Structure formats: structure tokens, C-alpha cells
Structure 1
Amino acid sequence: MMRLISRWQNSAGERVRIALNLKGIAYHYVPVSSLEPGEYRRLNPQGLLPALDFGGGHIVPQSSAILAYIEETYPDPSLLPEDPALRAMARGFAAHIASEMHALTVQRVRHFLRDDLGGGETEVKRWLQHWLRLGFAALEETLAQRQSPSPFCFSDSPGWADLHLIPQMNNARRLGHDLLAYPLLLAVEQRCVTLDAFRSARPEAQPDFPKTDSPA
């Protein structure tokens, strides 16, 4: 059985969990905190989460590469629309999230801005809100321009674009970004969050999610 090494608060890992769930692929979730010190860096020299271990010493880093491997190895059901144009649009939508929005707002970027460049919390917040606002506005307009609107981003069922969108929206809320200006994105989210493939991939559903003591 393949192993997915990740962390509860890792939206890239959440994307992969959703994909595996949508395809019904069994996997073993390995919290990175359960590994010995230095072991993860040995397995994945990039040191970033997540990584997929599919046996035979093969470790695949980066969620985009992992998702491509999953789609190519387990083609049914496909995470991409049948129409080539829609497939390209779904990939472009997802790439905007992974390569532009997520890459500019991840924790290591925020910490570098604050600790190494001396930016205060106000400056870091301005940075986050700027890139999140630009990113979500572009995604909202992309859905508005669809020639044939669909319940999910580009299909009648959730797939490649949706599994990128939902974790990014969760991240935005955690970072204090107001999503009310994006009704089309919110409508897709409302449909996704009712599905077990998305619910079971949520951070709070992971075994390493911090547990709080029950009130006495």
C-alpha cells in the first residue's frame, strides 16, 4: 500500500488526500511528525510536504507530480473532464492556485518576510491579502467566463480544479481573507464539502490533528 507523508496542516497534502479518496485508492497516511529526526529529509531531499512513497524506494515529492502519477496510474475515474479544452482549463485553474497563490502565501514565505526581511505583522498581512485577493478574483472570473456552467468547477463531478480550490479556500479563511466576494467559488465549495472524499481529507480528520482536552 502506498504511503502519503504529510501533515494535518498542509493544503498540498490535502489535495492529494482528496484525489486518492475520489478515486477510491487505499493508502496509509504517515504524519511527518512520526518519523525520526532527519528521516524525512533523507527520503525527500526537498524537505517539503507532501511526498508519496509507492514502494520500491520510489518517493515522489510535490503535489502536482503526485497528482499526475495518480491520474496516470489509476485513470478511472478521471479527475479531469473528457473535453480537451476543459481539461486544459482545469489544469490552468489548479496551476494558478498551486504555483501562484499557494506558493506566495505558504508559512516559510511568511516567516522569511517577517523574520529575515524584518517585515512586521502588518506588512505580512498586506502581502497575504494582496495575493489572495488577486488570485481569488481571477479564479472567480474564470468560472464566470465558462461557456457552459457546471455544478463543480469544470464538470458535473468534482475533480482536478476542485481539489485544489477547497484547501486554498480553507487556507484563506485561516489567514483572515474574506471570501464573500466570490459567490461562484463558494457555490462550488458548498457542493464539495458535503462529499466524504473532501470531509475525510480535512485537517481535523487527520490522526495528527492537535487534540484539545475536553472541558471538565
Structure 2
Amino acid sequence: MQLYGFFRSGTSHRLRIALNLKRLAYEQVAIDLRREEHLRAEFKAINPQQLVPALEFGGRVLTQSPAIIEWLEERYPDPPLLPPGPDERAQVRALAAIVGCDIHPVNNRRILEALRHRFGADEAAINDWCGTWIAAGFDAFEALVKAHGRGGEFAFGHQPTLADVYLVPQIESARRFKVELARWPRLMAIDAACARIEAFQRAAPAVQPDAS
């Protein structure tokens, strides 16, 4: 497997976590977003959308981190990232979707670049923008974990699930945008629990080969 990604990309981060939890070996191919390598023709030939991550495996290229992670879950079901029952799976998927559908898309790089260059937003405005949507999502995530989290140390029970795979990179991003995280103690406890697991440690942006 070849993972085309960027160390600080939240979507690349979540895919690294999933691959590590599945105990799958992969080679990283760095696509430096700061140098706009994702816009080059070479990468467009790999992913026409010119976004990271992309996963090349067996002569095919998979794109979009939610689709790739679902593919991993279907192809490599052990250890599972989703609970066995359909109701529980729906709850875990809903938690992941808070990040994947409602927080990250409005805070990703191309949105922030548009705010900077088309609308003149400075870094304080960028942080305020990001903090607004992170806070709204984290409020809901925390409430749902308290209601349905099953009392475990993770977002849903006593082992990491898809919800944690999505949450941890978003917390990393929140720190980068200077969001005050103390108001979500349950999420901070989940983040700390994940940080004790090697799969999450090895996926952290700071330890990636292209981190600088």
C-alpha cells in the first residue's frame, strides 16, 4: 500500500490511524500542500480531485478518506472499527460524521485559503472561523458521547472505533487553531486514552517523515 498524504492533513491523519489500528503496512508518499504539490499534474493523474489522502493498492487508487476507511473495514474486519449491531454502528458513524461532514469540510485548507486570499481574512479571523465550527461540533460530540458512549474510555465503549479515528485528528487541528479545549472534558479524556495507544502515537503529525 502507498499512502499519498500530508503530515498535517486531518484526513491523512485519520487514515494513518485506521491503517495502524488494522495493523497494515504502508509506504508514505509525501504530498506537500505548502508547496502545492497536490496541484501538480503528476498528482492529478493519481487523484483527479487533487486532494489528500489517496491510497494505492493492487493497481488501483482509492480516494476520499471515509470511503477508504470503510473499504479497510470491509476488507480487513479484524480488529473492527465499528460495533456489531446496526443501531450501535449508526451511533458511531454519526459521531464520525460530526467531524467528517460538519467540522472538517468548512475548515480544510482550500476553504481557509479562499478566506485568506479572496476575502482578506487574517490569522485571527481564520482561528475564529475554525473555532466556531469546531466548538459547535464538539458540543454535540461531547453530548452524544455522554448519552451513548457506554461508559468506556473511548468515544463508544472500551476500544477505539471509527469515532475515535475521526475525533483525534480534529482535536489536533483544534489545538493548531488555538481553540480552548477545557470545556470538553470527556473529549479530552478520550484523546488522552487514544494517545496511550501505539497506533495513534505512530499516526501523529509530528512524527511523520515529512513533518518539519
Which TM-score band applies after superposition, normalised by the shorter structure?
A: over 0.9
Gaps of 5+ in 2: none
Aligned to 1:177: 179
Aligned to 2:169: 167
Q: Secondary structure at the match of 1:96?
A: helix
From 33, 53, 61, give the equivalent of 1:59: 61
CA distance in 1, matches of 2:54, 2:108: 17
Aligned to 2:190: 188
Aligned to 1:12: 11
How big is the alpha-carbon RMSD for the aligned residues of Structure 1 and Structure 2?
A: 1.7
Aligned to 1:213: none
From 96, 99, 102, give the equivalent of 1:100: 102
Are the counterparts in 2 of residues 101 and 131 from structure 1 also a CA contact under 8 Å?
yes
Q: Which amino acid aligns with 1:72?
A: E
Are the counterparts in 2 of residues 143 and 153 from structure 1 also a CA contact under 8 Å?
yes
Moved over 3 A (4+): 33-37, 119-123
Give 1:36 deviation, angstroms.
11
Range with bigger deviation, 95-104 or 119-128: 119-128
Q: Which amino acid aligns with 1:102?
A: H
- 1:43-91, CA deviations, whole angstroms, 9 ceiling, x for partnerless residues? 10000010010122x1111100110111111111111112321111111
Range with bigger deviation, 113-122 or 29-38: 29-38
Aligned to 1:88: 90
Q: Which amino acid aligns with 1:7?
A: F
CA distance in 1, matches of 2:29, 2:8: 13
Q: Secondary structure at the match of 2:4?
A: strand
Aligned to 1:69: 71
Gaps of 5+ in 1: 211-216
Q: Size of the alignment, in residue pairs? A: 208
**TM-score (structure 2 length as normaliser):** 0.92
Range with bigger deviation, 139-148 or 65-74: 139-148
Q: Secondary structure at the match of 2:154?
A: coil
CA distance in 1, matches of 2:5, 2:95: 24
Larger radius of gyration: 1
| Paired-residue identity, % | 38
Give 1:199 deviation, angstroms.
0.4
